[in-house]
């Protein structure tokens, strides 16, 4: 029999359903960072993100205990879909046309570029400026487009996972990505920003 650490997230979820609290602790530790960053990215408010993160896990626990979790895809994508629905429920409850309110504290600075770059110092400065410009432009994208870009490039989710997480078709997810890229290019051209890394 495998040790808990060797199990996939899906196997851990089933182990939790069958009574293993240690399996849930491991599931939480594996998924909390990715899930929290997604929620914070969308809502841009740390206190609200904390509340929504907890609500997401409470809903996930409830669904698992009610036997509503089946291994039909990745556990992480299932969890993201729950988080997406929790966020949308919040905004529906507020009856607001705005999906995201810009906060002073979240300008995507929590996404580190230094992890990806291994270059000389001059190239690093140029690339840091480019990433900073891209992050600022991403903040100007409509929420559905920004959400798809974040899931795809910062969380390495497939378009199928993105579609499942946001309750849209794959074509809609692809379309949102296409429009996001077009909007980013347009903004770069309007402000004469070079987006080519060195």
Angle at 33 between CA 174 and CA 48, to 5 degrees: 85
Predicted pLDDT of residue 119: 46
The Cα–Cα gap between 198 and 185 comes to: 18
67 Rama sector, left if φ>0, alpha if ψ -120 to 50, beta otherwise: left
81-115: per-residue pLDDT in tens?
Answer: 999 999 888 887 775 444 444 455 555 544 444 44
User: What is the structure's pLDDT at 102?
Assistant: 47
The angle formed by the CA atoms of residues 7, 62 and 60, to the nearest 5 degrees, is 50
Name which of 88, 188, 177, 99 is nearest 135 in CA terms. 188
The pLDDT, as a whole number, for residue 122 is 58
Coil vs helix vs strand at 29: helix
Distance of CA 43 to the CA centre of its chain: 11
Can you give the pTM of this predicted structure?
0.58
Q: Which residue has the tokens 């994508």?
A: 77
Between CA 82 and CA 167 the distance in angstroms is: 10
**Model pLDDT for residues 5-64, shown as the tens digit of each residue:** 899 999 999 898 888 889 888 988 999 999 999 998 888 889 999 999 989 988 888 888
Q: Give the Cα-Cα-Cα angle 92, 95, 98 (nearest 5 degrees).
A: 90
Q: How far is Cα 166 from Cα 130, in angstroms, rounded to an integer?
A: 29
In this structure, what token pair is assigned to residue 56? 């997401």
Residue 110 in 3-state DSSP? coil
- 110-169: pLDDT as tens digits: 444 444 444 456 566 665 676 677 777 888 888 888 888 888 877 888 888 888 888 888
């Amino acid at each position: 029999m495998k040790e808990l650490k060797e199990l996939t997230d899906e196997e851990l979820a089933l182990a939790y359903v069958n009574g293993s609290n240690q399996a849930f602790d491991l599931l939480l530790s594996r998924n909390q960072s990715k899930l929290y960053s997604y929620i914070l990215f969308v809502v841009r408010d740390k206190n609200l993100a904390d509340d929504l993160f907890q609500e997401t896990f409470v809903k996930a626990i409830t669904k698992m205990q009610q036997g509503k979790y089946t291994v039909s895809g990745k556990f992480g994508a299932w969890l993201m879909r729950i988080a997406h629905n929790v966020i949308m429920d919040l905004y529906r409850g507020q009856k607001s046309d705005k999906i995201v309110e810009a906060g002073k504290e979240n300008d995507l600075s929590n996404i580190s570029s230094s992890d990806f770059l291994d270059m000389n110092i001059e190239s690093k400065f140029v690339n840091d400026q480019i990433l900073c410009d891209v992050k600022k432009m991403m903040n100007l994208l409509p929420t559905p487009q920004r959400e798809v870009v974040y899931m795809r490039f910062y969380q390495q989710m497939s378009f199928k996972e993105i579609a499942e997480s946001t309750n849209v078709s794959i074509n809609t997810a692809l379309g949102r990505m296409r429009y996001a890229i077009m909007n980013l290019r347009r903004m770069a051209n309007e402000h004469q920003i070079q987006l080519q890394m060195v």
